[in-house]
Amino acid sequence: MKCNRLVDAGRRQFLRGGVLGVAGVAAASVLPAAPAKAEIALARVAYPSNRVGNLKDLKVDEPVDIAYPDDNSPGILLKLGKPVEGGVGPDGDVVAYSVLCPHKGFPLSYHAADKTLNCPGHYSRFDTENGGQQVWGHATQNLTQFELRVDDAGDIFAEGADELIYGRLSNVL
Ligand code: FES
């Protein structure tokens, strides 16, 4: 007898839970829809046009430190001594690159003997005469090259980047 009462009580408890569950589902179906997710920022951005130097201050194989598109993005302005891809100026030999390694962000240094930027982290190397093409190492993308423009006074402006700069979802914060 006692046992039957327990079974009956359990059955009632189960049914009550079921009714409450159905009521919960019904209530949920009339609640307002969840707010839409915020849009994800795209990598395509409007770049600033920043003066980064002047032609008269450049010497072949002597990189000049710059920052583009903002102070948190170090790079170099470099005169290579022969016309190259993306090169500007009367000789088509002035280029600019990020110096943050695309692998893990170590700072790159210029090696004039073979015109490469080299990483002390895991030894990736990038060809400054060929648009920052990776020639060796762990990185999985070429080095970010900055687009340049030169005005009549020889002032050099950076106006874009051809790859994502290390550590960013877009190249302008
Ligand atoms: Fe440059 Fe790893 S951080 S190769």
From ligand 1's centre to the CA of 120, what distance in Å? 7
- Rounded to a whole number of angstroms, the distance between the first and last alpha carbons of the chain is 75
Q: Which two tokens stand for residue 164?
A: 């994502």
From ligand 1's centre to the CA of 98, what distance in Å? 13
From ligand 1's centre to the CA of 123, what distance in Å? 6
Identify the helix (H) or strand (E) that includes residue 24.
Answer: helix 2-30
Count Cα atoms within 13 angstroms, Cβ side, for 48: 11
Residue 147 and residue 162 in contact, taking contact as beta carbons nearer than 8 Å: yes
Between 28 and 133, where is the model more confident? 133
What pLDDT does 13 receive? 53
Q: Is 100 in the pocket of ligand 1 (CB under 6 A)?
A: no
- Band of pLDDT at residue 1, cut at 50, 70 and 90: very low
Alpha carbons 97 and 127: distance in angstroms, whole number: 11
CA-nearest of 46, 98, 45 to 67 is: 98
Q: What is the mean pLDDT of residues 160-172?
A: 91
Residue 66 and residue 96 in contact, taking contact as beta carbons nearer than 8 Å: yes
> Which atom of ligand 1 approaches the CA of 123 most closely?
4
What pLDDT does 45 receive? 80
Q: Is 118 in the pocket of ligand 1 (CB under 6 A)?
A: no
Q: Is 77 in the pocket of ligand 1 (CB under 6 A)?
A: no
Q: Is 168 in the pocket of ligand 1 (CB under 6 A)?
A: no
Known catalytic residues? 103, 122
Q: What angle do CA 172, 157, 117 make, to 5 degrees?
A: 75
Which amino acid, residue 32? P
pLDDT in tens, 20-79: 444 444 444 555 666 677 776 665 688 999 999 999 999 999 999 999 999 999 999 999
For the whole model, what pTM was predicted? Answer: 0.76
Percent residues over pLDDT 70 in the chain: 76
Alpha carbons 167 and 150: distance in angstroms, whole number: 29
Residue nearest to atom 2 of ligand 1 (CA): 122
- Band of pLDDT at residue 11, cut at 50, 70 and 90: very low
Report the SS3 class of residue 56: helix
Percent residues over pLDDT 90 in the chain: 69
Q: Which two tokens stand for residue 172?
A: 């302008």
